[in-house]
Amino acid sequence: MSDLASMDAAGRTAPVLDLDPFADAVLESPFEMHAALRAAGPVGWLSKYGVYVMGRHKDILPALKDWETFSSTGGSGLADIRKPDAWRPGSPIVEVDPPQHTKVRTALQRILSPAVIRQWRQDFEIEAERLADEVVAKGSFCGVTDFAETFVSTTFPTALGLADSPQRRDNLFLLGALNFDGQGPRNARYEATQRKADEIWDWYLDSMKREAMLPGGFGEKIFQAADAGEIDPEIAPLLVRSFLRGGLDTTSSMISAALWYLAQDPAQWQLLRDDPTRVRGALDEAMRLETPIQNVCRQTMRGVEIDGTTVPFDSKILIILASANRDPERWENPDRFDVMRQTMGHLALGNGVHMCIGQMIARLEGEVLLKALVSRVSALKLTGEPTRALNNNLRSLATLPLSITAG
């Protein structure tokens, strides 16, 4: 798309922004870029990538709700998945609009109903307590690799019904990294992840097949929904693919972010000790501040005016959820972690028809794990600087050195 595409019908242009949301330094700390983006107006033109960009909460929320104008069919990332050489077939849930989306979403909502997820609680609690005992016995541990990742890579694939194997954990995290790197540009980071993923491609393809789903898991139920005619048979493995690629890293990122903020502020930890039901607030606040999925993309289905700037028909828009989640016009003291904050309205789980379908699962995982720690640990401390795992769209820590005082 040429620069002219950024000119609106009235001859006004969206400001051309020389910003790079995918540069290493920005991925390390994107907050200055977010502020520049919000200051630039409701919508800007990212010259480096030839896409529009939005960063203000008040403009993003209505856009997410308006799927008829802001369609998901162009792809959840920067690449246009409608092109014949698209990097992968579109997701049959994230990258479709109603009415196709409604049919698939309804079937999945039945498979992942609150009643079904509640049945997993006990198994999740047993694993959370085992793991919390383990880290308490160690005294110091990595909040990411020893704790958050260990937990989600045990509980979630088992609920899905993917058989355990020595490579399951590493392979699933690699697929997650590929999924989220793939939502950004075709840069060196993406290429490197794709090369690593090429080595496990056969395992990946096999893991989304019906034969890979153990009886009783929700993966099996997706294939049964196809048997019952609720969804088309060819999309069943692609739905399993969406879960293999999107359900682990996000949840692990949320949990380790919560631990990171809590370890920096003993008063916040004490608030959880006083009332462990507050772990829910801590998780939402960590999601708001760190926004595991930083961006989603939409494609305009008509020329649309966003707060005075017109974006032409068929334009890709990068919607920076992470920027909306710290927008000072929406949040008081936006950078402060406060487990008592009213976090309703944060956009870390999206909004509108595509709002995260796995949020109950993510919340359940986070809740049982943090509660298990809160009940055993009187003080949580950082023992070194955490490091980041840089990814084009997933914001997460690679390491989080922690020590604990039991009690």
Q: Which residues does 8 contact at the CB level (< 8 Å), separation at least 6?
A: 14, 303, 305, 309, 310, 311, 312
Q: Pull the structure tokens for residue 190.
A: 């993406």
Pick the binder of ligand HEM from 76, 179, 268, 391 (CB under 6 A). 76
Q: Does 254 bind ligand HEM (CB under 6 A)?
A: yes
251 part of the interface to ligand HEM, by CB under 6 A: yes
C-alpha–C-alpha distance, residues 195 and 348, integer Å: 29
Tokens 């997993």 belong to residue: 120
357 is an interface residue for ligand HEM by CB under 6 A: yes
Select from 60, 356, 373, 390 the one that contacts ligand HEM (CB under 6 A). 356
- CB of residue 61 to ligand HEM, shortest distance in Å: 12
As given in the structure block, the two tokens for residue 109 are 């909502």
Examine residue 287 and tell whether it contacts ligand HEM (CB under 6 A): yes
Residue 174, interface with ligand HEM (CB under 6 A)?
Answer: no
How many CB atoms are located within 10 Å of the residue 121 CB? 13
Stretch that binds ligand HEM, among 55-63, 202-210, 288-296, 337-345 (CB under 6 A): 288-296
Instruction: Select the residue interacting with ligand HEM from 348, 364, 390, 394 (CB under 6 A).
Output: 348
Judge whether 101 and 231 are in contact, CB under 8 Å.
Answer: no
Q: Which residue has the tokens 């809160």?
A: 374
Tokens of 387: 């490091």
Q: Is the dihedral of CA 393, 105, 170, 144 positive or negative?
A: positive
184 belongs to the binding site for ligand HEM (CB under 6 A): no
Residue nearest to ligand HEM as judged by C-beta position: 358
Q: In this structure, are strands 16-17 and 44-46 parallel, antiparallel, or unpaired?
A: parallel
Q: State the minimum distance, in angstroms, from the CB of residue 188 to ligand HEM.
A: 25
Q: Is 235 in the site for ligand HEM (CB under 6 A)?
A: no
CB 115 within 8 A of CB 364: no
**Residue 358 sits in the site that holds ligand HEM (CB under 6 A):** yes
Sole binder of ligand HEM in the list 151, 292, 309, 404 (CB under 6 A) = 292
Which H or E run includes 402? Answer: strand 401-406
Is residue 105 close enough to count as binding ligand HEM by CB under 6 A? yes
- Based on the shown chain and the rule CB under 6 A, indicate whether residue 225 belongs to the binding site for ligand HEM: no
Give 258 or 380: the residue with its C-beta nearer to ligand HEM.
Answer: 258
Binds ligand HEM by CB under 6 A, chosen from 158, 171, 193, 242: 242
Dihedral, CA atoms, 206, 209, 210, 212, nearest 10 degrees? Answer: 30
The residue assigned the tokens 């491609």 is: 201
Rounded to whole angstroms, how far apart are CA atoms 374 and 395?
25
Binding mask 300-339 for ligand HEM (x = CB under 6 A): ----------------------------------------
Residues forming contacts to ligand HEM in the complex (CB under 6 A) are 72, 76, 93-94, 105, 242-243, 246-247, 250-251, 254, 287, 292-293, 296, 348-350, 354, 356-358, 361-362
